[in-house]
Structure 1
């Protein structure tokens, strides 16, 4: 019985494609304006075996609920840091009063020209500008330490520029200077128990060349 059904199905398909071929053969000039993909569920895939030109973006398997994920590019760095700080939430305030997607303290905001925490918390664009400004300011403060310590190993962790800058975001540039220049003897741990060493390891190897050292970096709403 199953064999007969299979044979009938195969025969039906053969007849269908034969009629389809004949139909198109009789009319060689097909009016494509009559055909549309509107409303159809289309899946596009990119082979993971082929590297993209800048090696900055990779794609996960199709038919999942996730967005493309980022490798070690600058956007990957800032989004990974934001996810660790706040889960990527622009409008959150933690139990210590740190604000937004990147969890800025009010004193740090003042140093980069932001004196209205409420405005900051409700302005995602300003938060992104603040992240860049703070990164550039820290990079200027730590420029000599970056040059001196990148590539060395401290407490078992290879020092990288992105690790230094991430640690400065956590603990401040001054604390990172002390950590590096004491070769890890003088550490820092925040109110939740997160250490400079942990950030140096977790955020190592990202490309942070986008951020240029800038002593006077400010974030503005303009």
Structure 2
């Protein structure tokens, strides 16, 4: 009898807990549906749209959100991914880029999340230095219907290299690079616009 009472108590509490979780998720989902895209603060971003039972997770639109958004686009945020073209890790680095930062052991790189994070920050610093004049001249302008922002430029440089971004910006959008999978400078400028990446300091000699 005592055992049966324990089972009844456990089942009741289980249903109560389940009900609380359902109420929380429903409230979050309903609340999100009430907010239109235009009403969402410019300092926030929908970073992971299906993280919690189709509810939306909002993150500040800062450098942390920027790098995680780039990572999700590149590899779905997986550190050990190698794509069909041989690009490596969470941010899909090419071997030539890694060698610039004196990283030669690709297996060690794939198994070292901390090294991958440092390499991404270093690359952003280098690209920001290479593109410093173009950032100053172009941010705030509209090219091919796309608002140019510093974060969009850095993301596009990660995709195509800083040199190709220079060509795009200085040609007014007529010279546009696309990679083997069809991703373009324009698509990255648009997808990654408006993040606050001011904490990244331009540095020609950045190292990991």
Q: Does 1:121 align with 2:110?
A: yes
Match of 1:182 among 152, 171, 186: 171
Q: Does 1:147 align with 2:136?
A: yes
Q: Distance in 2 between matches of 1:169 and 1:161?
A: 13
Match of 2:66 among 60, 68, 77: 77
Number of aligned residue pairs:
183
- Higher strand proportion, which one? 2
Once superposed, which parts of structure 1, at least 4 consecutive aligned residues long, lie more than 2 Å away?
A: 40-49, 55-58, 63-69
TM-score by length of 1: 0.71
TM-score by length of 2: 0.76
Q: Distance in 2 between matches of 1:85 and 1:213?
A: 23
Q: Does 1:112 align with 2:138?
A: no
- Find the counterpart in structure 2 of residue 16 from structure 1: none
Q: Distance in 2 between matches of 1:134 and 1:80?
A: 16
Match of 1:213 among 202, 205, 208: 202
Consecutive unaligned residues of structure 1, counting only runs of 5 or more, are 1-39, 50-54
CA RMSD of the aligned region, Å? Answer: 3.2
CA gap of 1:66–1:93, structure 2 versus 1, over 3 A, is farther
1:1-222 matched pairs, under 5 angstroms? 64=53, 68-219=57-208
Shift of 1:76: 1.1
Consecutive unaligned residues of structure 2, counting only runs of 5 or more, are 1-16, 35-42
